Structure 1
């Protein structure tokens, strides 16, 4: 009886793990589609009802896409580029907008910019104290002058928060104190999101790159 309960519990948890991401993804997509369709569709569909007798699902999405493309075309125009900062300054004078708009704009630029920061390598280093190790993502490397007569190679490391990898902070660490892991960005993100639950023996025993050069065990 105990074995049966244990098996049922395991099957139930496995089912949740498999189905929950699917349901959440579908619901998010449905919510996005409905939002885009309702954004302009509520203004356009009354005309379709008058002309054709029925509302047209998707007209809001189509109109939103056309509006986005037209906005993109206009904002690449030299004249529009020059006057946009003026209208933006006026917009920022609206109460509460000045607190919300800059952060949202920065986030959107980060997500959609062609020149956005890319994670280059996964690293392991001692942080926030000795003998405590943290996974991080290298975003850049450069020379730092900690001494007037000596340059040290440093790495910029982004440390993701768990379980939300989008939030986090960044530190600069001497390259000599960093261990470069032979691990993909996707694998590291899975470990962080799961809080280490998905840290399998295979990942723990992965080969590592010392200072980004030779592989060692």
Structure 2
């Protein structure tokens, strides 16, 4: 009895969590319809709300933006809008910071997470997996006693929050596992070993 219950849970729990996450994502994207004027919203002229329509239109809008921004005239338009935003005092600082982060994380040449590494944190003798994100800025490095690297240590099971550390390079062990393998290992709380497909 217990064996069958556990087997059933192993089938349903990942499926239920996947559906739950997808539902949260679609519901969040559906709220993008609220940005439209009331008389433009599909539910106003259809008479009922279509679940997922906002998510679909958001994806299509992003895709269309990508297509337009990839050609010559689209690139000129993007540069013109960025130039305009850079002249607005408060908007300039927010936009430039967000754009720099997004270019690093999402850009084709971005290397937000360069290597998976092993570091001692939060104390000596306690090891965690982190990711090298670069090297300290010149001004910061000038105050450090030795050569250091930037390391992001994610939390489990949510890797989008974590800690940013500057650690001596000699104390950081570079791992041979890929960034994807390391992320799976962290998210699974160590259950999914590196190289595993997750099945």
> Same fold, TM exceeding 0.5?
yes
Query: Which ranges in structure 1 are unaligned for 5 or more consecutive residues?
Result: 93-100, 204-217
Q: Bigger radius of gyration, 1 or 2?
A: 1
Counterpart position of 1:84: 85
Alpha-carbon distance, 1:8 to partner: 2.5
Counterpart position of 2:3: 7
- 1:163-204 CA distance string (max 9 Å, x none): 2111112112222222111212122212222333x154x77x
Instruction: Name which of 186, 194, 197 aligns with 2:188.
Output: 194
Alpha-carbon distance, 1:133 to partner: 1.0
Counterpart position of 1:175: 169
Aligned residues: 179
1:158 counterpart SS class = strand
Alpha-carbon distance, 1:56 to partner: 11
2:157 counterpart SS class = coil
TM-score, normalisation: structure 2: 0.63
Give the ranges of 4+ consecutive aligned residues of structure 1 lying more than 6 Å apart after TM superposition.
53-57
TM-score, normalisation: structure 1: 0.59
Counterpart position of 2:153: 159
- Distance, in Å, in 1 between the alignment partners of 2:79 and 2:98 is 17
Task: Pick which of 37-46 and 163-172 moved more.
Answer: 37-46
Counterpart position of 1:127: 121
Which structure has the highest strand share of the two?
Answer: 1
